[in-house]
Each structure stands twice: as structure tokens, then as C-alpha cells.
Chains A and B, each alone.
Chain A
Amino acid sequence: MSRSAPSSRGSVLIERARIIENHRVAPEQFRLLVESPRIATRAQPGTFVHVSCDEDGWFKRPMSLLDAQGDLLDILYKVVGRGTQHLSTRSAGTCLSIMGPIGKPFAPDPEAPWIIAIGGGTGIPPLIFLLERLFASGTRSRLAFFGGSELPFPLETQHRATPFIGIPEGVTQSLLRLDRLGIPAALASRSAIQGTYPGLVTDLFKSWLRLLPEPPTPGTQVFSCGPSAMMAAVQALARDMHFGGALCLEEYMACAIGGCAGCTVPVTGPDGIAMKRVCVDGPVFTIGTVLFDNR
């Protein structure tokens, strides 16, 4: 909780953002597209925004970004409580107060032989943002995506056209927006969604590692976002395989700017265990540092 570097002064903006779209894409899941030109210009994969869902006496809600292009912020959110319920009723043309971008972005190693993204549920969007930015940058790393959800996927799926060696037979579904870029993607669900792996996304990932003729070499990076149990499993697999990478965490937030220390999580550092704020010390943390046993 030390002083932020002077260069961070004024780095977070507050914008009155006009809603372009706010519609249901799957049960309990909504797509929010807002015009927020100054925040959109600065947003990077992994950073998040703090959104006023209800102007009347409720806190803003932290939300990850699916994309930031031109003047627009693209957000996928799940209705989980009063704030997001209220947000889901907001119409196009009305305005929201949005604060952002907040937090540290993903920082993939340009030399990594593979960059593998593993997302669960509402943790999927920032990983799509990461992969699409990496693709657009012309990365030399091989990219792959594994996604898990118990609800219908909020992003359009299709029968995979991009070859994905090592994926079990019958696991045929990919995400449209990754498949059309040629980024191999495979999906898992325990909700009997056709063409998905019938189990945990981490089991799909393990299966892929076993079946792949040439497993990713050390130096490979894994980026993950989603439920804690999933990320703990990803962390353990990465440790066993000597992969690097990072986890993008969620926690209840109040200020989202580093003031209240309400969103801290235990991490290991050079001086032992420390409580780090998800909002400004994260939300992206080095994969091996997050302690899940203490949470």
C-alpha cells in the first residue's frame, strides 16, 4: 500500500459513457457496448473498468473488458446481484459513469513459444481481448484458447475450422471470433453442450497436454481468468509443466483505486506472504504467486 508512482497520477479517467447496446446474449449474461472514447484508447487486456450500474446509492461494479476498439468498450457481464440486475435494464442511448482503465494489464513474453489462455465463465472476456491483441500485433508465439462454462457460452460458437491437434474427438466447438482469426480454441462444459468436452476445462487442457505430439516447452506462458478453483488447478498444472504466465483475479471491490484495501488477496513475494489489492496491484498477478489455500 505504498504511494503510487507520480506517473500514475491522472491515469484513471471518469467518463460519461453512452450505451450503444445492452442486450441479453445467453441466460443471465449480457453484452454491453458503450461509447467511452478516452478510456477505450487507454484500455489494455487485463485492465478493467468500474461501472455505475445504479446511480442511486449502490457502488460501481468492476468489469473486465472483452474489447476496446476506437471509441467503444465491449463488456460481457453476468447478472449476479442487484447492481448487475439494474444494469441489465438500462437502455441504449442512456449514459453510465465509467471509471477506468484500472489495474495492471497482461504482459506476455514476446519470446514465449506458446501463449495459452484458459478461461472460465465471466473470466473468458479478458482472455479473448488478450489473444486478439496478440494476433493483431503479429506475435510469433503459438496461441491457443481453452474455455469452460456451465452456462451457454456468451460468445458465438461454431464448428472449429482451425486445426487443433491434441483435442479429443468430438470436442468440435470453437469460438467464432477466435476461429476466424485462425486461433485454435476448444470448449468444455459439464452442462452437456454439444461439441464441448464433458468436464472441467482444466481436464480438457490436461488431456491436450497428454495427446499433443510435441508438448509446449518450458517458457510457454499460461494466462487464466475465472473461478478460483479453476485458476488454482491451472496454477498447479503450470507449475508441473514449468510454464510461466499470469492469473487475472476477481474480488469484491469498493473503491477500486487502491484506497480501501477491501479487495486484497494473499500472494507470495520476496518478503513472504503479502496481501495485495486486486484493483491496483493486480488484477493480473504472476501465476505462481497467488495463494489459493488461504482464500
Chain B
Amino acid sequence: MSALNSVTPTRPDPRLGCRLCGLELNSPVVLLSGCVGFGEEYTRIEGFSLDQVGAVFLKGTTLLPRLGNAPHRLWETASGYLNAIGLQNPGVAVVVEEILPRLDFSETRYIANVSGSTLEEYAEVTRRFDDSRIDAIEVNISCPNVREGGVHFGNDPDMSARVVEACRTRTQKPLIVKLSPNQTDIRANARRCIEAGADALAVINTVTGMAIDRKRREPLPSYGQGGLSGPAIKPIALLKVAEVAEVSLPRGIPIIGQGGISSAEDAIDFLLAGASLVGLGTGLFYDPLLPRHVNQGLSAYLNENHLRLAEVTGALSRPIPASRNPNLES
């Protein structure tokens, strides 16, 4: 009988314990918004345990309920997939009043993901979460699958900063900003978000893309475009993490590295590029027990290299090419 047939959940190696903006986490491995519903979904799987992850980022939440996009919402591509869910969620009132009270905050940390179509909506949803048990708030200025807000804010550094400022004034909880890779210079945007009050940065959201149904000559997914995730985007994400690290690490702002992580080796790459935490999303669809496997691989790596977790972050032996943008001194 293989190991897969006899799964015993185990808490992560204590040496993987770490902190994010003052929050103590079991592991640097976190589960990403949009891939794990409102926290409980993966616990249906035998052997999956929420105490194996440092935090769970809940499904993107707006002020009012959203049905999301019509089917078909996804399309698999080489080493990844396109999704266009369209921020389906029951609205912040239901999340705060009905869903959060049912979560077990002793197992892991729960982080809200705030989305909106206007500055006022971002601010109000943040305010509602501030008045809840949620451990931290992630501002999603990079969702590519809605017609208003989302990535339209996140691709403009001025608008990004205004959204972060609006949210910052509504909460004292740790504020994480999820950055889009779909922009000219992610460093400029990262710096503006930090100046506007971000406590941490999530790098990256999905990369916009499309597929085509040749028979019907229609774009896919049905929305007409989608966000590409999975191993295909890992090289893009790694470079973005390294670029953002140039401006965030000197300011003491941690990065949650994400984009195509599907093994412990991938996670180590993101830490070396400058991330303090690593996010799992699409990788779970290949291996639902990925958090445990990444934890095990990280522990082995620390052992073999006689390192502490924090020593891995940004430990590239030589820097990436310097930015040519004169406005981007770190």
C-alpha cells in the first residue's frame, strides 16, 4: 500500500513557524484566495488538515452578493488553466455574519480577500471585515475577471495607491495588497502601495490570457478571457517577486510569493527570490495534499543546508538586472 493510501495529518515542523505582520503562523505555506472557497472545502479530503498551513485566504468578497460569470468558467492549458469565475461570493454581510463564526480560528489564520468596483466599496468591505474575527485583510486590486474595478485599479499605480489608502483608513488589521503581473512595472506599483499603507504584498495574481474554441470561433473561457495560473506562470511570478523584493524588503515589507507553485522545490525558489511566505492555489488541483508535501520538502531543505527559514528569503547569490527606471530607487 502506498503512502497515499495511509495519510496521517501532522502538524508542520516547528521550525517552519513564522510571522506575518505580527501574526504567528504554523508554516510559511498559505492557501490562496479563489482556490479554497471559504476555508473548509479541502478538509473534505482525508489527510488534509488546515493546521498544516499558515493561513487561508478566503474567497474574494464584495459588498453585495455576486453570481459571477456564466459557465464555462475555466479552460485547461499546457501546465495551467484559465479561469474567469467573476468574483462569485455571497457578499460581505453573509461572510462576516454566517461564515466566519463557523470557522475554527485555532487551526490556522484566516485572511479576507476584499474586492470592489469603486473606492467606496473597497473601503466599506474592509470596514466590515475590520469589525470581525478575521486575522488580516488582503486587498485584491488584480482580479482580471470583472468588468469594473479589479485589475483596472491594480494596473494603475495611482489608482492602486488610492484603493490601499481607502482601505488603510478603515482597518488596523494587517493589510496585504495582491499585485497584478499585468502591468508595465510592478516595482513602481509595489512602492506606491507600501507608501499608501500596505503591510505585506502578495505577488502575483493571475496573468491575463485566452484560449479559442476553433470550431465555434469563440474566445475561452466563456467570459472572453481569463486569468492564467499554474506551473506555466511560475517563471513570470518568480521574476515579479524578485523585482518587488527590491523595493519591499529594504522597507521591511514581506512578500507572499505565488504563481505556479506545485512542489517544495518551487516554494524554495520563491523564498530565494524574496518571498517570506509561499501561496498554493492551482497546485492543489494537481496534488490536493500539496501543503503537507511542501512542508516536508521545506523542512528537509532547511536541514540539509543548515538554514533557518528566514535566512532563505531573498538569498539569491547575485541580484537580478537593475531597473532602468530612474524613478525607482529603493
B223 → chain A closest CB, angstroms: 12
Chain A 262-295 near chain B by CB (<8 Å), digits 1 or 0:
1111100000011100001000000000000011
A residues near B42, Cβ cutoff 8 Å = 257, 259
Assembled-state Cα–Cα distance A265/B53 (Å): 30
Q: Which secondary structure dominates chain A's binding surface?
A: loop
Q: Is the CB of B90 within 8 A of A252?
A: no
Is B40 on the interface with A (CB-CB < 8 A)?
Answer: yes
**Residue from B76, B89, B103 within 8 A of A58 (CB atoms):** B76
Chain A 248-268 near chain B by CB (<8 Å), digits 1 or 0:
000111110111111111100
**Residue from B38, B71, B282, B288 within 8 A of A295 (CB atoms):** B71
A215 → chain B closest CB, angstroms: 34
Assembled-state Cα–Cα distance A1/B76 (Å): 23
Question: B19-27, B79-87, B117-125: which one contacts chain A?
Answer: B79-87
Chain B 33-68 near chain A by CB (<8 Å), digits 1 or 0:
011111111111111000000000001000000011
Assembled-state Cα–Cα distance A261/B45 (Å): 17
Q: Is the CB of A251 within 8 A of B71?
A: yes
Is A164 on the interface with B (CB-CB < 8 A)?
Answer: no
**Residue from B37, B81, B89, B289 within 8 A of A258 (CB atoms):** B37
Assembled-state Cα–Cα distance A4/B102 (Å): 10
Q: Is the CB of A2 within 8 A of B73?
A: no
B residues near A1, Cβ cutoff 8 Å = 37-38, 59, 88-90
Considering only residues 262-301 of chain B, those with a C-beta below 8 Å from chain A are 282, 284-286, 288-289
Interface centre among A38, A257, A258 (most CB of B within 10 A): A257
Is A8 on the interface with B (CB-CB < 8 A)?
Answer: yes
Q: Is the CB of A260 within 8 A of B102?
A: no
A234 → chain B closest CB, angstroms: 19
Contact status of A59 and B286, CB under 8 A, knowing A259-B35, A261-B68, A262-B85: yes
**Residue from A15, A59, A97, A259 within 8 A of B36 (CB atoms):** A259
B residues near A255, Cβ cutoff 8 Å = 35, 41, 284-285, 288
Number of chain A residues close to chain B: CB under 8 A: 42
**Residue from B44, B59, B75, B231 within 8 A of A261 (CB atoms):** B59
Interface centre among B1, B282, B288 (most CB of A within 10 A): B288
Q: Is the CB of A254 within 8 A of B74?
A: yes
Is A12 on the interface with B (CB-CB < 8 A)?
Answer: yes
A163 → chain B closest CB, angstroms: 41
Contact status of A275 and B67, CB under 8 A, knowing A14-B45, A57-B79, A261-B85: yes
Question: B2-10, B148-156, B171-179: which one contacts chain A?
Answer: B2-10
Assembled-state Cα–Cα distance A255/B44 (Å): 12
A residues near B83, Cβ cutoff 8 Å = 254, 260, 262
Chain B residues with a Cβ under 8 A of chain A = 1-2, 4-5, 7, 34-47, 59, 67-68, 70-76, 78-79, 81, 83, 85, 88-90, 98-99, 102-103, 231, 282, 284-286, 288-289
Enumerate 13 A-B pairs (CB-CB under 8 Å) in ascending A order: A4-B44, A9-B44, A11-B46, A16-B5, A59-B76, A252-B72, A252-B73, A254-B81, A255-B41, A258-B44, A261-B34, A263-B73, A265-B71
Chain A residues with a Cβ under 8 A of chain B = 1-4, 8-16, 38, 57-60, 95, 97, 99, 251-255, 257-266, 273-275, 280, 294-295
Given contacts A9-B44, A262-B85, 17 further A-B contacts (CB under 8 A): A1-B90, A3-B40, A4-B41, A4-B44, A10-B45, A14-B47, A57-B286, A59-B285, A251-B71, A255-B35, A255-B285, A258-B41, A259-B42, A263-B71, A264-B68, A274-B67, A275-B68
